[in-house]
Amino acid sequence: MNPMNSMKILPYLSLGLSFGLLLASPGLADDDVLQGRHITVGGEGTVRARPDLAVAELGVTAHGTTASVAMAENRRKVDALLAALTEAGVADADVLTSDFGIHRERVSQGRRGEVGEEEEERFIVRNMVQVTIRDIDHAGYLLDRLVEAGANEVRGIRFALQDDAKMASQARALAAADARQKAEHLAKLHDAHLGKVLRISESGVRNVRPEAMMMKSMDSAGSTISAGELTLAAHLQVIFELTD
C-alpha cells in the first residue's frame, strides 16, 4: 500500500502563538543582519496521515526453582515465538531483542504473618523483543498468534511512517505560509510592508499525537488495534525586514 495515497493534508493556522514587533536592541547591535526595523513571527504547519508501520514490544517471562530451569523454560518459549514470527513472514531484521534479564526473588508460602511462614526462592527470566510490523492491517492477527505461541508479556505498540520526509516537508511549507500571513497582517496594521526574510529558525518537526497503544485482553479471542492517524507539526520563527 502506498502510504501517500491515504494522506490528508490539513492546513493548520495557530492563533495562539506569540508574535511581536522588534526594534534593534543592544543584544542585536553586533548583528548587522538585524539592524533596522524588522518583525519576528512564529508559524506552525500541521499534516496528518495514516501510519503504515507498527512497532510492538512483547516477550516471555518464565519462572523456575533454579536459574537454569527458568532459562530453559524461557528459551523454549522464545524459540516458539521466533518460529511464529518466521511463519508469519516477519524478516529477521525486523526482530530485535530489547530487554533481557534474570533476577531472583523470594515468595512466601502460606498466609502473610502466619507462624511458621516459609519463603521459597525462585528465579525469573525475561526476554523481550521489538517487532516491526510492516503490514499494520494484520497487526492484530499477528499479535494473537504470538500470544498463542507463548508471549505472556505485551508492553505496547506504536505507529509510524516508513518514510515521513515528504510529510515533514509539507508541514514546513504550511508553517512558512502561516508565518508570512501573520507578518503581512501585522505589517499592514502598522502601515508598513514586508521586505526580505532576514532569518529563519526551526524548532523541529514533531509528532503531536500520543502514541497509540494496543488494547489486549490476554484471555480474549482477539486483539483490537486502532492505528488512527499520525500528526506532524512544524514550528518556525521567521524574521522579516520592514519597509515603508
- What's the pLDDT at 24? 37
- What's the pLDDT at 109? 67
Please report which confidence band the pLDDT of residue 128 belongs to, taking 50, 70 and 90 as the band edges.
Answer: very high
Residues 142 and 225 in one domain: no
3-state secondary structure 128-161: EEEEEECCHHHHHHHHHHHHHHCCCEEEEEEEEC
- Other Cβ atoms less than 10 A from the Cβ of 47: the count is 27
Termini Cα distance of the chain: 53
The residue whose grid cell reads 534593534 is 24
What span, in angstroms and rounded, lies between the C-alpha atoms of 32 and 48? Answer: 39
Which residue range(s) make up the domain with 177?
20-50+163-243
pTM > 0.85: yes or no: no
Is there a domain that residue 2 lies in? no
In this predicted model, what pLDDT tens digit does every residue of 31-83 receive, in sequence order? 666 778 999 999 999 999 888 899 999 999 999 999 999 999 999 999 999 99
Q: Which of 127, 160, 193 is the last residue of a domain?
A: 160
Is there a domain that residue 3 lies in? no
Residues 141 and 82 in one domain: yes
Residue 60 vs residues 38, 54, 146, 152: alpha-carbon distances, Å: 60, 20, 10, 5
What span, in angstroms and rounded, lies between the C-alpha atoms of 51 and 8? Answer: 12
Residues 215 and 227 in one domain: yes
- What's the pLDDT at 120? 82
Structural domain count of the chain: 2
Q: Give the lowest-confidence range in 129-138, 143-152, 200-209.
A: 200-209
Please report which confidence band the pLDDT of residue 115 belongs to, taking 50, 70 and 90 as the band edges.
Answer: low
| 30 grid coordinates | 553586533
Residue type, 3: P
Nearest to 161 by CA among 131, 134, 142, 141: 134
Q: Which of 160, 182, 207 is the last residue of a domain?
A: 160
197 and 41 Cβ atoms separated by less than 8 Å: no
Nearest to 102 by CA among 81, 65, 82, 127: 127
Q: What kind and span of H or E run contains 204?
A: strand 193-207
Task: State the average pLDDT for the chain.
Answer: 80
238 and 41 Cβ atoms separated by less than 8 Å: yes
Looking at residue 94, the DSSP 8-state letter turns out to be G
Q: What is the CATH number of the domain that holds 118?
A: 3.30.70.2970
Is the pLDDT score of 130 beyond 80?
Answer: yes
